[in-house]
Amino acid sequence: MPSGPEIERFELEGANVLCIRTRGRNSVAASRANAPRLCARLEEEGRDGLILDYSDCALEHTVPQFASIAEIFAEAMPRHVTVAYVYSPANMMHALMMTKMLHKAGLKARAFPGWDEAESWIRAELA
């Protein structure tokens, strides 16, 4: 795993979905800085969906620290955006917390153990 983070951004083919794939180590400081920028980008680009893929990412966040990042997303995420979160076994609790907080904020969000399931779900939700 690279010592990064290494961030890949791309659009899901045939859908108005921004995909963010993060690999390597991701710090709390990086997440705090990137979360509001990502939410603003989704609004500016008029995106319908977001896939966050952390399956190859080592989060340096404790679960309580990650809760503060999830709060940023819950407050700043455009309400029409559907969110799929791809996790690894090591960051499953982070993913579950994120999706729970997004649900509480009125957003449609779900966590998945693999990319294919996340992509299928978000395509079906946005169809």
Residue with tokens 């659009």: 11
Residue 2's pLDDT is 45
Tens of pLDDT, residue by residue over 16-64, are 999 999 999 999 999 999 999 999 999 999 999 999 999 999 989 988 8
Inter-CA distances, 77 with 4, 48, 51, Å: 25, 11, 13
Tens of pLDDT, residue by residue over 60-104, are 998 889 899 999 999 999 999 999 999 999 999 999 999 999 999
Which pair of structure tokens corresponds to residue 123?
């395509």
Residue 8's pLDDT is 95
Question: Residue 86 region, left (φ>0) first, then alpha (ψ -120 to 50), else beta?
Answer: beta
Task: Supply the DSSP symbol for 5.
Answer: -
pTM of the predicted protein model: 0.93
Return the domain boundaries, the chain: 6-126
Q: Is the pLDDT assigned to residue 1 strictly greater than 70?
A: no
CATH of domain 6-126: 3.30.750.24
